[in-house]
Amino acid sequence: MKRAIQLAVITCLAGSAGAQEIKPYQAQEIKPYRAQEIKPYQAQEVKPSRPASEPPGRSERQGAAGMAELMGAWQSSVSGAVWTSPSSVPGFDTLHISPGALAGLLVIYPNGTYIWNSYGGKKGRWTRSDKSDYPLVLEDTVENKRWYVGLDQRTQRLYIWDGNAISYTARRPAQQ
């Protein structure tokens, strides 16, 4: 029966095609796709632009600022951070990104006092420093720290550094 139906279809098609010969379709063999092996990216070693013992911002500054340039209001902030930690996937690390945060308004007065609305508020006296890049020191009686203050002449940003590992940056507040 199947053979009869095939012959009937061929006869119908042959009759409508006229003198043309009908050839059966020849399928081509399909070969499976072979992808290239993907290898993990190996980043180059990152070399710091300054030694770890050098205070933040020091290499960017262009000389010591005059004391008058440091006076007035500054909006301080903590810089963001980026670091990696081992991942649960062998051979990979997890990238962590921590955004910076505003730390409060710092006002340095010419009379030797300051107010810093950081961590609940600090106020005290400032003195001159013996460091050329950080000509001013905020005497912090709340945390018992000395905060060294310097100005980057190129960017007009203030750098506030505890002499160890903690640092802030500050800029003039936007004029309204």
Establish if 75 belongs to a structural domain: yes
Q: Hey, what are 32's tokens?
A: 């499976």
- Name the domain count of the chain: 1
Average pLDDT taken over every residue of the chain: 80
Instruction: Give Cα 83 distance to the centre of its chain.
Output: 10
Establish if 44 belongs to a structural domain: no
Q: Write out the residue range of the structural domain in which residue 148 sits.
A: 60-171
pTM of the model as a whole = 0.57
Strand ranges in 14-121 using DSSP code E only, listed in sequence order:
72-78, 81-86, 93-98, 101-108, 113-116
Establish if 9 belongs to a structural domain: no
Q: Is the pLDDT of residue 116 over 70?
A: yes
pLDDT digits (tens, 9 = 90+) for 25-48: 888 888 888 877 777 777 677 665
φ/ψ bin of 71: left (φ > 0), alpha (ψ from -120 to 50), beta (otherwise): beta
